[in-house]
Amino acid sequence: MPESDRERLFAAARRVGKISGKLHHQADLTPSEMMVFHHVKHRQNGEGVRASELGQRLGISRSGISHLLTTLEEKGLIERVNSRTDRRAVYVRLSACGLERYQSMNAELTACVDRVMLRMGHEQVLQLTVLLNELADIMQEEIEASFAPK
């Protein structure tokens, strides 16, 4: 691939990443906090989600997940509760404020994406979806081939 094509691809990807990063900033959350916040919302059951499970799923150390959860707790977005059946287990769930904030952020994001898709048009959105999936598939194959045991 010519260097200029590679540079344009990387520049476009960086630009999209930088713009989407502004969503985290507007939400007053770091990308890591947003990721944990999102996982808590989607993984919690009746009691919540175990803090240890969050760390394992996200590949974050115990101290790292503890720090992120403390920050989200200080912001009033999550709450930690002890298990009713296992005193050692700590569960995390969205607080009432966190659920309200999540729903608000999700509605804003959905509206923004809908406006972007409307401006792009149906055909371009379909083309972009196909291309992004193809890119992800090829990248996964290349990474797996590069790191496969030899």
CATH of the domain at 30: 1.10.10.10
Q: Tell which residue, 37, 18, 17, has the closest CA to residue 27.
A: 37
DSSP string, 45-72: -SS-EEHHHHHHHHT--HHHHHHHHHHH
The domain tally of the chain equals 1
- For the chain (150 residues), the mean pLDDT of every run of 10, in chain order, is 84 89 77 89 84 90 93 94 82 93 90 95 97 95 85
Whole-structure pTM value: 0.74
What's the domain range around 51? 3-147
CB neighbour list of residue 33: distance below 8 Å, 6 or more residues apart: 24, 68, 71, 72
The one-letter amino acid code at 57 reads R
pLDDT value of position 86? 79
